[in-house]
Amino acid sequence: MSTSRKRFWTKTEITETKDGFGVQLDGREVKTPAKAPLLVPTRAIAEMIAAEWQAQGEKIDPETMPATRFANAAIDKVATQFDEVAAMLVAYGETDLLCYRASFPEALIARQAAAWDPLLDWASQRFGVTWNITTGVMPTPQDQQVTQRLGAHVAQFTAFQLAAFHDLVAVSGSLVIGLAAAENHRDPETLWQASQLDEDWQIEQWGADEDAAELIATRRAAFLNAGRYFNACTTDSSLLK
């Protein structure tokens, strides 16, 4: 992304080469912060990036350009350390949010079971793994098959997918939720709400905090943006219309 804080272009265009799709600003190729060509694997991603640049006002606001940030991260960072990033994300499965349940009150226990058990059941059937569920916050080891089988699946992602998958997992705190989003098992909003179940319970009991609410809104946007970008990694742009 350009380091300039002021808009310097009028026209945004998508280009296609043998190496992928790029974006030009008045004929100038957009590059990553590391000065690599910003080339992405699908036109759908390129259209998202082009739309972000075209929507900028007098000054560039990177916070309004999630697709551009994901592409930058994929090219400059994830591609050069793919195995390390993948392993870090798969490690979330060892202490997955969905496996740590409340011991009281009964209403919260029931709410967690209703929202989380179907997701764990899906992951068990989809990947052939068994989950160890516990109460409290003390770490409970998962069977080695969890990291082995889910790790093998994540290893098949592209660097562009993994960049978005990072936010799906890290923001939700759950490898299972991240995988469910990546595979369109549930709609993104439902999955986000599942990840926020405990926080929503606390808000119901004690009321909302303005700063906390703002942080939750930011994290929700990050999760939903990651879901859209992940899908765009393998989606023809015509299907997005």
Average pLDDT, the chain: 94
Q: How confident is the model at residue 241 (pLDDT cuts 50, 70, 90)?
A: very low
Question: Where does the chain hold its CATH 1.10.3580.10 domain(s)?
Answer: 80-240
Q: DSSP per residue over the chain, as a string?
A: --S-SB---S-EEEEEETTEEEEEETTEEPB-TTS-B--BS-HHHHHHHHHHHHT--SB--GGG-HHHHHHHHHHHTGGGSHHHHHHHHHGGGGG-GGGEE-SS-HHHHHHHHHHHHHHHHHHHHHHT--PPPEESSS--PPPHHHHHHHHHHHTTS-HHHHHHHHHHHHHHT-HHHHHHHHTTSS-HHHHHHHHTHHHHHHHHHH---HHHHHHHHHHHHHHHHHHHHHHHTT--GGGG-
Q: Which CATH class is domain 80-240?
A: mainly alpha
**Residue 220: its pLDDT value, please?**
98
**Residue 236: its pLDDT value, please?**
57
12-76: CATH number: 3.30.2180.10
Query: In this prediction, what percent of the chain has a pLDDT beyond 90?
Result: 90
For the stretch 155-192, pLDDT in tens is 999 999 999 999 999 999 999 999 999 999 999 999 99
Question: Where does the chain hold its CATH 3.30.2180.10 domain(s)?
Answer: 12-76
**Residue 235: its pLDDT value, please?**
72
Q: How confident is the model at residue 4 (pLDDT cuts 50, 70, 90)?
A: low
Whole-structure pTM value: 0.94
Interval 56-62 mean pLDDT: 95
**Residue 156: its pLDDT value, please?**
97
Q: How confident is the model at residue 103 (pLDDT cuts 50, 70, 90)?
A: very high
